[in-house]
């Protein structure tokens, strides 16, 4: 679902904006699993668009947030930030670029999030790009090669991208159908960084950090996650995400019994198939004493 | 009195002894007092002597009788008997006199009279059956020689007298089994009054019943009387079998059986006693009560209930017994196994291994390394959760062998085991040691298992018996320690010291990081202690003989299903040779082990019975063993494959691929399902006919075109919103705004401002199920005519096609067009013989493309055997549901009504098969599958009308129209 701002009268972003102000002191927590931070930095230096591939909930979005903070926190630009667009099948080029709105008797142009990022020089993150309509993905082509321009037909202008602007897209190759695969012409414009779920220890650390739960419980949740992921393709497409494990830990922190927290946080969220749920429940019960 | 001449003449025919006896007796009769007696005596003597061979022997008997009782009345009576019996055979007379000789001492006169009266009666009714009379007197002599037995003589005679009127068999059996019939006279009389035949059956079987002490069982006797009207032969046989199998516990079932109203149900109950938890009498009683509660149940339903064949019966037993079955949880266990191991693991039922040779040699063997074995059902605990816990612990225990490094190191384990002199002992020790390590590791990694693991271990300990033989006892101690007992708890004074050592060794496994290396080291230590008695002073005389596997302690139940052999890869001879010769220390242990046993002298470490220094010259015996093994295997299979039929068959089965599925079957008579009644084999091992498909396609261009036109009418199903249309159901707001803006700005506006809901996607899966019964081998008649079983001569080339050819043609052509349309479809055939062998041939699954393999298999469909439809329809429904498609269609192509040799109790009745098929179709409908039956059976209307609604079947008169009709049906179902 696209969430983008309506321009307020005073021209400032309201609180619902997806644009993040990265001027806060602390970067969003991200535990690297390899050299992805170095690769991303290098790509940014060269302004090479980045494609993040990986399963649901493995930390792609968090990585982009983290990188946006790292990149922009050292700069003076107050506008330096991250525009996140969650793509869906009804997302059109207009939704991304902008449109005229009727305001009284006037028509007012409203920048879309992509245009805003291009103008202001921030990271634009198109999450699950393959979900978007084909026509909307084509408009990013001119932004992802040497031209770095955004033609806006309705305004009759061609916008040069801000020097700080970078396009980042993500998709999950695991459950996309052939029909929704990324077009080669789009795919080959990006530097691709592949993500996977973190290792057992890393995931435990992440859960610990995100929730403050005790280490043994975090390790248990990470173990549950690791085991359940082996079931991918047998009742549900992806493995259980780190995000779900964190939710379960947060529920435990709020006083919910470990079994129940895993039941609502992991078991029922992971699959609707009863036998798969039962199997996951058995694994959870094997790790967490009832 | 006869004149003396006659007497003298008679005397000359006798030898001296007999003559003397005769003379004494004849004079003993005073002519004045009993002239008639002397006359009768002499007359009888003459008759006996003239009666042929053995006459002198009989005469001697007669003299003996007369000596004992020479009263006139007695002589008159005996003379009468002699007169009656001597006419046709000497045997009855001889037997009579023998009996009488005995009876005169023991019987009351009245009893003698009764016996003689009955003998008259037997003789009267069966005048030429001398054997019967002989049996009669033999039986009397044999069985009624004591006074105690004679208390029942009258009753026995009454029965015998009554049976005189029946066939000879009755009396023959009564006399032949006189001992048993005597002791059960009362019961025989009781049964006889209801059904004499049943009484005779009882008499015949009485000896067996007596041997099994069943005649002391009042409950059993009650049942015999209860069901005697229907005949009791089968009941008695079942009772004997039950008593054999269940021993004392049979009494419980006899007692409960009196509540059951039909004999057949009682027999079913007894025949299935081995499937019942007889150790829980209350439970059985409750289950029986539940079965007889509904008095409206038909006899068939009652029979199915007590055979444990109906769903209600099985469910009730499960509920009462807290039983947990593998089939109910197999999918979950499989998922858990895959999740924990990360491998594609199959869960197999232990019992099924022995059912069919094919299972061992076929598909199961193919994947045995990735198989986990679990028992069919568990009810050893009172609570179902504990029974489930057994499965869970057994599953995790087996998975632990993979999870904690054992599987990866099996080559090393195998080497270590084979290097021991007693490899089976080494294997046993390794399993006990490794199991202990796995349990400890499980406990640490999966703390949630701890409680259940403790419960299972405690139960396993409580079930163990003591080992008797020396090594067995030590092994038993090892097993107990591996289950968590301390030497103190084991409490064996004799082996206290050894137990301490073993406990210490196994304690090395406790640390959470203990790996396979530690287990192998502990194996060395334990083997050394148990096999050779080293280090321990009390084992003064170590046992030199090898202990056989049969002496090993019983396995721990939750650990016993692990197939270590399945995990061990084939030995690598070259590797073993190299390692054995060059680096014996490495074979015995690795770096870890070297550290652990640094205090021991390496020269003392044994490889079997050889020391390290001996290894320099090579370990000939082991090398030879290892080198021979692969050769033996090779010669066993390949060399004989050509001329050894079983070997060739085995090879074929080994290659064959199939999966087995169990399906319920609906029994309309019991109005319940028979759970797991049919075994369906999903196979892909059809003989290929690669050219058939292409030939059909190339020969039928016009029909393909017709089908294509037919299917082209199908419109996409799913509605999708499409914006920017020139017209449509809704106005697209954005386009409209653009339109207004453009217009206001003086630009030519885009008029495509509407939204349409279009059918742009088809979400259809169809399964074509082809009847491959033997009747599809029949030839088809020309268009418009009936099907003919005789070859026709119409000059048309296609005339001699068979029904199966038409079926294949129809599905081939439609599949050709469906590929163009892009719909998902599957093509399967079915046949089989009996409920245990329903064959389901998967020619093309939903995931396959119509490649050479699928085409070849469709071409390879041939007529097989029966038409058991229920299970294939259920299986097809299962596949269709698994596709998750919105429209699911099942099209059954058949040539007749469902039938199989055991499709219902009456082979000639079609009703059972029809009802089951009807139920299967209803189940499919319930699961969202549209079904359609196409039949070429002209009488199809008769039964299809009952099976499904009119819109769901079609009887094709002109069979050549099958392909086009099929496409119409397809369009109707999915379009």
- Residue whose entry in the numeric block shows the structure tokens 């080994």: B654
What chain A residue is nearest to B332 in terms of C-alpha separation?
A279
Query: Domain residues of chain B, as ranges?
Result: 1-87, 207-292, 409-571, 690-714+762-974, 718-761
Containing structural domain, residue A217: 200-287
pLDDT in tens, A97-118: 888 776 766 778 889 999 999 9
A178 has pLDDT over 80:
no
* End-to-end CA separation in angstroms for chain A: 39
Separation of alpha carbons A174 and A179, rounded Å: 13
pLDDT in tens, A113-166: 999 999 988 899 998 888 877 777 788 889 988 899 999 888 889 999 999 899
Confidence of residue B583 (pLDDT cuts 50, 70, 90): very low
Q: Residue B231: exposed, middle, or buried by beta-carbon count in 10 A (0-12, 13-18, 19+)?
A: middle
Residue that is last in its domain, among A194, A221, A244: A194
What chain B residue is nearest to A240 in terms of C-alpha separation?
B339
Same domain, A96 and A211: no
Q: Which pLDDT does position B942 carry in this prediction?
A: 75
Provide, rounded to the nearest whole percent, the portion of chain B with pLDDT above 90.
16
- Please tell me whether residue B457 adopts helix, strand or coil conformation: helix
Q: Which pLDDT does position B34 carry in this prediction?
A: 67
Q: Residue A126: exposed, middle, or buried by beta-carbon count in 10 A (0-12, 13-18, 19+)?
A: buried
Residue A94 to residue B342, Cβ atoms within 8 A = no
SS3 per-residue string spanning B644-663: CHHHHHHHHHHHCCEEEEEE
Separation of alpha carbons B955 and B948, rounded Å: 13
In a domain, A8, yes or no: no
Residue A286 to residue B392, Cβ atoms within 8 A = yes
| Closest-CA distance of chain A to residue B647, Å | 38
Separation of alpha carbons B320 and B308, rounded Å: 14
Give the dihedral sign, CA B326/B332/B336/B338: positive
Contact of B947 with B967, CB cutoff 8 Å: no
Nearest to B81, CA basis, from B67, B106, B57, B101? B101
Separation of alpha carbons B40 and B72, rounded Å: 9
- The closest CB to that of B737, out of A102, A280, A288, belongs to A102
Same domain, A231 and A189: no
- Is B881 touching A (CB cutoff 8 A)? no
Same domain, A72 and A170: yes
pLDDT in tens, B10-66: 888 888 888 888 888 887 776 666 667 778 888 888 888 887 777 888 888 888 888
B76 has pLDDT over 70:
yes
- The closest CB to that of B339, out of A220, A228, A290, belongs to A228
**Residue B782 DSSP symbol:** S
Contact of A165 with A121, CB cutoff 8 Å: yes
Same domain, A218 and A185: no
Same domain, A252 and A135: no
CATH annotation of B690-714+762-974: 3.40.50.410
Give the dihedral sign, CA B651/B652/B657/B660: negative
CB atoms under 10 Å from CB of A88, counted, come to 14
Separation of alpha carbons B753 and B740, rounded Å: 11
**Chain A contact set for B392 (CB, 8 A):** 282, 286
Nearest to B90, CA basis, from B45, B55, B56? B55
Q: What is the dihedral of CA B802, B807, B809, B813, to 10 degrees?
A: 170
In a domain, A9, yes or no: no
A186 has pLDDT over 70:
yes
Strand partners of residue B890? B767, B931
Structure tokens at B171: 């009396």
**Chain B contact set for A94 (CB, 8 A):** 734
- Residue whose entry in the numeric block shows the structure tokens 């496994």: B509
Beta strands A20-21 and A50-53 are unpaired
Same domain, A143 and A213: no
Same domain, A209 and A88: no
**Chain B contact set for A261 (CB, 8 A):** none
In a domain, A110, yes or no: yes
In a domain, A187, yes or no: yes
Q: What is the dihedral of CA B724, B729, B733, B734, to 10 degrees?
A: -10
**Residue B802 DSSP symbol:** B
Confidence of residue A220 (pLDDT cuts 50, 70, 90): very high
Confidence of residue B235 (pLDDT cuts 50, 70, 90): very high
In a domain, A15, yes or no: no
In a domain, A76, yes or no: yes
Same domain, A189 and A206: no
Separation of alpha carbons B181 and B179, rounded Å: 6
Q: Which pLDDT does position B968 carry in this prediction?
A: 80
Beta strands B764-771 and B718-725 are unpaired
Q: Which pLDDT does position B266 carry in this prediction?
A: 93
Domain containing A83 — which CATH number? 3.40.50.300
Contact of B940 with B955, CB cutoff 8 Å: yes
Same domain, A172 and A113: yes
Nearest to B476, CA basis, from B492, B488, B453? B492
In a domain, A13, yes or no: no
Q: Which pLDDT does position B489 carry in this prediction?
A: 81
Residue that is last in its domain, among A148, A170, A194: A194
Q: Which pLDDT does position A251 carry in this prediction?
A: 94
Bigger pLDDT: A200 vs A154: A200
Tell me the CA distances in angstroms from B708 to A23, B695, B701, B745, B822, one per residue in order: 65, 18, 10, 51, 12
Q: Which pLDDT does position B790 carry in this prediction?
A: 37
Separation of alpha carbons B975 and B970, rounded Å: 8
Confidence of residue B392 (pLDDT cuts 50, 70, 90): very high
Same domain, A88 and A218: no
| Angle, CA of B325, B329 and B334, to the nearest 5° | 130
Residue B190 neighbours by CB under 8 Å, 6+ apart: B225
Contact of A4 with A18, CB cutoff 8 Å: yes
Strand partners of residue B251? none
Q: What is the mean pLDDT of chain B?
A: 78
| Closest-CA distance of chain B to residue A288, Å | 5
Bigger pLDDT: B561 vs A37: A37
Q: How many domains does chain A have?
A: 2
Residue B449 to residue A286, Cβ atoms within 8 A = yes
- Is B734 touching A (CB cutoff 8 A)? yes
Same domain, A186 and A89: yes
Residue that is last in its domain, among A194, A223, A258: A194
B360 has pLDDT over 70:
no
In a domain, A212, yes or no: yes
Separation of alpha carbons B780 and B792, rounded Å: 9
| Closest-CA distance of chain B to residue A283, Å | 7
Backbone angles phi, psi at B910, to 5 degrees: -90, -15
Interface of A with B in 80-109 (CB under 8 A): 94, 99-102, 107
A27 has pLDDT over 60:
yes
Same domain, A91 and A180: yes
Beta strands B824-832 and B764-771 are parallel
Q: Which pLDDT does position B111 carry in this prediction?
A: 87
Separation of alpha carbons B579 and B414, rounded Å: 13
Residue A276 to residue B450, Cβ atoms within 8 A = no
Q: For the packed helices B620-634 and B410-419, what is the interaxial angle rounded to 10 degrees?
A: 120
Q: Which pLDDT does position B752 carry in this prediction?
A: 85
B114 has pLDDT over 50:
yes
B759 has pLDDT over 80:
no
- The distance between the two most distant Cα atoms of chain B, rounded to a whole number of Å, is 168
* Percent of chain B as helix, strand, coil, to the nearest 5: 60, 10, 30
């Amino acid at each position: 679902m696209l969430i983008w701002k309506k321009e307020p009268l005073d021209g400032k972003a309201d609180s619902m904006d997806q644009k993040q102000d990265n001027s806060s002191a602390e970067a969003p927590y991200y535990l690297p699993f390899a050299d992805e931070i170095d690769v991303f930095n290098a790509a940014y230096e060269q302004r090479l668009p980045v494609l993040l591939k990986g399963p649901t909930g493995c930390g792609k979005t968090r990585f982009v947030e983290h990188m946006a903070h790292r990149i922009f926190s050292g700069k003076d630009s107050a506008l330096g930030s991250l525009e996140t667009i969650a793509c869906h099948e009804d997302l059109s080029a207009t939704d991304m670029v902008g449109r005229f709105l009727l305001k009284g008797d006037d028509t007012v142009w409203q920048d879309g999030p992509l245009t805003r990022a291009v103008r202001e020089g921030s990271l634009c993150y198109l999450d699950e790009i393959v979900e978007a309509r084909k026509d909307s993905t084509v408009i990013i082509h001119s932004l992802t090669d040497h031209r770095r321009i955004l033609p806006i037909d309705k305004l009759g202008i061609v916008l040069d991208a801000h020097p700080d602007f970078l396009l980042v897209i993500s998709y999950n190759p695991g459950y996309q159908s052939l029909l929704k695969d990324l077009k080669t012409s789009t795919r080959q414009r990006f530097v691709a960084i592949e993500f996977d779920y973190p290792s057992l220890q890393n995931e435990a650390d992440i859960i610990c950090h995100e929730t403050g739960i005790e280490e043994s419980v975090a390790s248990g949740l990470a173990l549950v996650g690791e085991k359940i992921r082996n079931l991918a393709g047998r009742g549900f497409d992806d493995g259980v995400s780190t995000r779900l494990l964190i939710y379960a830990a947060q529920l435990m922190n709020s006083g919910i019994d470990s079994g129940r927290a895993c039941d609502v946080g992991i078991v029922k969220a992971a699959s609707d198939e009863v036998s798969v749920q039962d199997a996951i429940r058995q694994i959870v019960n094997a790790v967490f004493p009832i | 009195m006869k004149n003396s001449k006659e007497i003298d003449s008679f005397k000359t025919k006798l030898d001296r002894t007999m003559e003397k006896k005769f003379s004494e007796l004849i004079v003993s009769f005073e002519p004045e007092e009993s002239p008639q007696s002397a006359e009768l005596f002499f007359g009888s003597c003459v008759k006996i002597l003239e009666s042929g061979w053995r006459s002198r022997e009989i005469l001697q008997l007669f003299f003996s009788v007369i000596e004992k009782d020479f009263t006139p009345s007695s002589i008159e009576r005996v003379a009468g008997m002699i007169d009656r019996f001597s006419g046709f055979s000497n045997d009855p007379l001889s037997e009579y006199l023998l009996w009488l000789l005995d009876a005169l001492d023991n019987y009351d006169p009245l009893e003698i009279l009764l016996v003689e009266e009955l003998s008259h009666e037997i003789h009267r009714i069966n005048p030429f059956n001398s054997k019967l009379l002989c049996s009669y007197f033999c039986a009397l002599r044999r069985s009624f020689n004591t006074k105690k037995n004679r208390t029942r003589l009258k009753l026995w005679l009454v029965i015998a007298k009554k049976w005189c009127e029946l066939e000879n068999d009755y009396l023959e059996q009564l006399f032949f089994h006189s001992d048993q019939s005597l002791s059960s006279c009362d019961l025989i009389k009781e049964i006889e009054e209801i059904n004499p035949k049943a009484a005779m059956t009882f008499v015949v079987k009485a000896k067996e019943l007596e041997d099994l002490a069943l005649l002391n069982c009042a409950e059993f006797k009650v049942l015999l009387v209860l069901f005697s009207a229907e005949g009791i032969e089968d009941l008695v046989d079942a009772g004997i079998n039950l008593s054999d199998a269940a021993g004392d516990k049979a009494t419980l079932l006899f007692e409960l059986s009196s509540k059951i109203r039909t004999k057949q149900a009682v027999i079913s109950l007894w025949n299935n006693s081995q499937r019942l938890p007889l150790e829980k009498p209350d439970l059985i009683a409750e289950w029986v009560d539940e079965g007889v509660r509904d008095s409206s149940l038909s006899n068939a339903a009652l029979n199915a209930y007590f055979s444990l064949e109906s769903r209600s019966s099985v469910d009730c037993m499960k509920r009462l017994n807290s039983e947990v079955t593998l089939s109910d949880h197999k999918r979950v266990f499989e998922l858990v196994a895959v999740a924990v191991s990360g491998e594609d693991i199959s869960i197999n039922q232990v019992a099924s291994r022995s059912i069919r040779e094919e299972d061992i040699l076929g598909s199961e063997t193919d994947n045995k390394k990735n198989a986990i074995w679990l028992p069919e059902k568990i009810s050893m605990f009172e609570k179902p959760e504990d029974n489930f816990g057994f499965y869970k612990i057994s599953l995790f225990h087996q998975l632990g062998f993979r999870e904690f490094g054992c599987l990866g190191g099996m080559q090393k384990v195998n080497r270590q085991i084979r290097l021991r002199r007693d490899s089976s002992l080494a294997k046993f020790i390794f399993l006990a040691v490794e199991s202990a390590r796995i349990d400890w590791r499980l406990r640490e990694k999966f703390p949630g298992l701890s409680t259940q693991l403790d419960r299972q271990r405690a139960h396993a300990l409580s079930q163990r018996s003591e080992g008797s033989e020396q090594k067995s006892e030590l092994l038993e101690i090892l097993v107990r320690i591996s289950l968590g007992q301390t030497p103190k708890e084991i409490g064996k004074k004799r082996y206290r010291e050894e137990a301490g050592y073993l406990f210490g060794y196994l304690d090395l496994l406790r640390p959470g990081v203990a790996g396979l290396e530690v287990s192998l080291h502990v194996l060395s230590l334990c083997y050394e202690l148990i096999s050779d008695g080293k280090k321990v002073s009390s084992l003064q005389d170590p046992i030199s003989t090898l202990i056989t596997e049969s002496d090993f302690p019983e396995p721990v139940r939750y650990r016993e299903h692990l197939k270590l052999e399945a995990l061990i890869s084939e030995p690598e001879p070259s590797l073993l040779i190299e390692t054995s010769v060059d680096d014996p220390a490495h074979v015995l242990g690795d770096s870890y082990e070297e550290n652990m046993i640094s205090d021991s002298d390496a020269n003392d470490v044994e490889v079997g019975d050889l020391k390290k220094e001996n290894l320099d010259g090579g370990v000939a015996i082991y090398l030879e063993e290892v080198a021979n093994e692969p050769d033996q295997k090779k010669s066993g299979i390949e060399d004989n494959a050509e001329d050894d039929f079983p070997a060739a068959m085995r090879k074929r089965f080994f290659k064959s691929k199939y999966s087995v599925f169990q399906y319920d079957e609906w029994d309309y008579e019991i109005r319940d399902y028979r759970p797991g009644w049919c075994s369906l084999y999903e196979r892909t091992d059809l003989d290929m006919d690669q050219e058939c498909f292409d030939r059909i396609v190339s020969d039928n261009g016009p029909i393909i075109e017709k089908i294509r036109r037919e299917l082209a009418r199908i419109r996409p199903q799913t509605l999708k919103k499409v914006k920017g249309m020139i017209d449509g159901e809704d106005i697209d707001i954005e386009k409209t705004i653009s339109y207004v803006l453009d217009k206001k700005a003086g630009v030519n506006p885009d008029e495509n401002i509407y939204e349409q809901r279009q059918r742009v996607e088809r979400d259809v899966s169809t399964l074509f199920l082809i009847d491959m019964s033997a009747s599809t081998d029949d030839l088809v008649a020309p268009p418009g005519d009936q099907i003919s079983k005789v070859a026709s001569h119409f000059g048309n080339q296609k005339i001699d096609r068979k029904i199966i050819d038409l079926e294949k043609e129809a599905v081939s052509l439609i599949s050709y067009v469906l590929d163009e349309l892009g719909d998902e479809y599957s093509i399967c055939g079915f046949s089989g013989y009996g409920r245990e062998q329903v064959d389901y041939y998967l020619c093309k699954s939903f995931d396959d493309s119509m490649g050479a393999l699928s085409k070849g298999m469709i071409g390879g469909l041939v007529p097989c055997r029966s038409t058991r439809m229920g299970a294939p329809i259920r299986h097809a429904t299962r596949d269709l549901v698994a596709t998750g498609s919105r429209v699911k269609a099942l099209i059954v192509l058949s040539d007749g009504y469902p039938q199989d040799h055991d499709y219902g109790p009456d082979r000639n009745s079609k009703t059972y098969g029809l009802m089951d098929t009807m139920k299967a179709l209803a189940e499919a409908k319930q699961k969202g599958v549209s079904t359609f039956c196409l039949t070429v059976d002209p009488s199809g209307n008769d039964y299809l009308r009952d099976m499904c609604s009119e819109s769901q079947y079609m009887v094709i008169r002109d069979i050549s129209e099958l392909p086009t009709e099929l496409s119409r049906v397809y369009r109707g179902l999915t379009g």
